[in-house]
Structure 1
Amino acid sequence: MVTTRRGRRPAGGGVSLTFEVIAETLRERIRSGGLKPGDALPTQAAVIREFGASSLTVQKAMALLKQEGWAVSRPGKGAFVAHHAHPDDADGPDGPEATAPAGGTMAHVEALERALADAVEQIADLRARVEALETGSSERGH
């Protein structure tokens, strides 16, 4: 068996990584109508329970869905199904025009702004955690 660095597939390997399995499962729920545009995606905790995955794995799956245009983030509210048909969803009866992202460039700019706001929020949260750990360590060490 070929071993590789964690998270990497061996050459020619057809096995999906856990975050890809999670993302595909959520894509299928969107395609099938189980999750509709504007619906909240399952919380990180719910996905962790359902798939037995780590929080980092779930975050990677959600980031992939956002990057591909399947989901959008609303800071402080969570992740939601995007309000347009996805370009990969070619089953639509109206052809490619019906699956183009709503709003074109502006929608992409808004999605990037939301992603940036999410990243800033995550950085602030991580800084707070580090400060709390450092404060706790210095109090216990002295």
Structure 2
Amino acid sequence: MTVGRRGRRPVGGTVLLTFEVIAESLRERIRSGRLKPGDALPTQAVLMAEFGASSLSVQKAMALLKRDGYAISRPSKGAFVAQLDVDTDEDPGSPDVGNAPVGGTAARVEALELALAQTLDQLIALRARVEALEAGVVGPIH
């Protein structure tokens, strides 16, 4: 596989750019089962060292994985392999199950659940602050 440099793909060529190589490598690790749903993806620093890539290339690769439903981000935690979106009617032994698209609805639900949990934490903190103010407590509430 030939890797293009400086972000330019020759016209009509099949040269993969660095970020595409990184994304495809991670997709293959997910499809093969070396990285399973819920596993942390390698950090930016690890991927930069492994592929000799810039931080921008790694960020573009991660954006591709997220866009395609292979990965999700958890604020302050990192990027993780998304849950498989496999039709429950499908035979688990079917060869297509291992190649099923990742993410989709399951990834969106997981992202929404995380956002909801964070919002709930903020509401609880706000409620405590309001109650403290109503009770006449002076000083910041943490």
TM over 0.5: yes
Shift of 1:107: 4.5
- Whether 1:36 aligns to 2:36 is yes
Q: Specify the SS of the correspondent of 1:42.
A: coil
Structure 2 residue aligned with 1:50? 50
Structure 2 residue aligned with 1:121? none
* Distance of aligned partners of 1:112 and 1:57 in 2 relative to their CA distance in 1, 3 Å threshold: farther
Structure 2 residue aligned with 1:93? 94
For residues 107 and 59 of structure 1, the distance between their equivalents in structure 2, rounded to whole angstroms, comes to 19
The Cα RMSD (Å) is 3.2
Structure 1 residue aligned with 2:26? 26
Q: Specify the SS of the correspondent of 1:11.
A: coil
Unpaired runs of 5+ residues, structure 2, are 1-5, 87-92, 115-142
* Distance of aligned partners of 1:85 and 1:34 in 2 relative to their CA distance in 1, 3 Å threshold: farther
Amino acid aligned to 2:22: I
Q: Specify the SS of the correspondent of 1:69.
A: coil
| TM-score, with length taken from structure 2 | 0.60
Structure 1 residue aligned with 2:83? 83
The alignment of Structure 1 onto Structure 2 pairs a total of residues equal to: 103
Question: Which of 1 and 2 has greater Rg?
Answer: 2
Identity %: 69
Choose between structure 1 and 2: higher helix proportion: 1
Structure 2 residue aligned with 1:63? 63
For residues 100 and 66 of structure 1, the distance between their equivalents in structure 2, rounded to whole angstroms, comes to 12
Q: Specify the SS of the correspondent of 1:14.
A: coil
For residues 30 and 43 of structure 1, the distance between their equivalents in structure 2, rounded to whole angstroms, comes to 15
Q: Specify the SS of the correspondent of 2:30.
A: helix
Shift of 1:7: 1.7
Q: Specify the SS of the correspondent of 1:72.
A: strand
Amino acid aligned to 2:8: R
Shift of 1:102: 6.5
* Distance of aligned partners of 1:67 and 1:103 in 2 relative to their CA distance in 1, 3 Å threshold: closer
